[in-house]
């Protein structure tokens, strides 16, 4: 579904990513782990067109999206849940969700939007309860759910999540990861960027380790969880018995 080859990207003259190559197959959860400043957010921004690649190739369903406008990338089925939620705080929950349905309105699929709203409220019941509440008054976990639901309103084939557990209490983190699994079970493909490496690898099919702008390791999630270098650097301690 998504194939990135030899990608260089950054900001102005600063190159953050160097020759990054990854792929994501339909129906997978693929996670990218790494420390702050490794380039994880830069990678997602480049895929979605918020940044332009300096070199390399980005293919989505076989189509080169490296120079596409952001709107066309979203319409092709690629949505981003940004770091820090970035909901519209002065707007009610329902209006935030309707903004996520912009591409559906543009396609003339207005009749499907109410159906998509109902699906979002089924996946995130608390949003139905908060439908007319200003987004800025929601808790951090509720805002994360709203950001995820808003991205789903575009009916993406691939949903990318940037640090969805950031700043959340442990119980809410567990709930967010459970929802990510349900999103995959309902037919979406997921590219997950996370500092909470253990939780991310437990739900992912495969993973990549990004360090100072380069992929240094890749493999099945179980293999990465068992890797001593990954344990020391990203899991806090070696797992017992390894």
Q: What is the pLDDT of residues 158-189, one digit of tens each?
A: 999 999 999 899 999 999 999 999 999 999 99
Q: Is residue 184 a part of any domain in this protein?
A: no
- For residues 94 and 51, state if they share a domain: no
Residues of the domain holding 114: 79-155
Which residues have C-beta within 8 Å of that of residue 242, sequence separation ≥ 6? 226, 228, 231
Q: For 76-105, what is each residue's pLDDT tens digit?
A: 999 999 998 899 999 999 999 999 998 888
Q: For 114-129, what is each residue's pLDDT tens digit?
A: 899 999 999 999 999 9
Q: Is residue 175 a part of any domain in this protein?
A: no
Q: For 20-70, what is each residue's pLDDT tens digit?
A: 999 999 999 999 999 889 999 999 999 999 999 999 999 999 999 999 999
Q: Is residue 170 a part of any domain in this protein?
A: no
- For residues 67 and 104, state if they share a domain: no
Q: Is residue 177 a part of any domain in this protein?
A: no
Q: How many domains does the chain have?
A: 2
Q: What is the pTM of this model?
A: 0.92
Strands of 63-64's sheet, edge to edge? 14-24, 2-11, 55-60, 63-64
């Amino acid at each position: 579904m998504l194939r990135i080859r030899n990608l260089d990207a950054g900001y102005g003259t600063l190159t953050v990513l160097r020759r990054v190559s990854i792929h994501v197959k339909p129906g997978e959860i693929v996670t990218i782990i790494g420390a702050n400043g490794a380039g994880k957010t830069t990678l997602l921004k480049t895929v979605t067109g918020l940044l332009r690649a300096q070199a390399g190739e980005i293919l989505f369903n076989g189509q080169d999206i490296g120079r596409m406008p952001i709107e066309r990338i979203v319409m092709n089925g690629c949505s981003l849940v940004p770091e820090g939620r970035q909901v519209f705080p002065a707007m009610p929950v329902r209006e935030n969700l309707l903004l996520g349905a912009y591409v559906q309105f543009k396609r003339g699929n207005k009749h499907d939007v109410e159906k998509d709203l109902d699906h979002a409220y089924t996946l995130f019941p608390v949003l139905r309860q908060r439908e007319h509440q200003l987004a800025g008054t929601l808790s951090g976990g509720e805002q994360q759910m709203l950001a995820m639901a808003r991205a789903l309103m575009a009916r993406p084939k691939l949903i990318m999540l940037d640090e969805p557990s950031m700043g959340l209490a442990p119980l809410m983190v567990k709930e967010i990861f459970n929802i990510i699994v349900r999103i995959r079970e309902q037919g979406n493909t997921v590219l997950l960027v996370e500092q909470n490496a253990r939780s991310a690898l437990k739900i992912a099919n495969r993973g990549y380790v990004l360090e100072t702008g380069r992929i240094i390791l890749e493999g099945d999630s179980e293999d990465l969880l068992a890797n001593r270098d990954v344990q020391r650097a990203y899991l806090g301690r070696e797992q017992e018995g390894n």
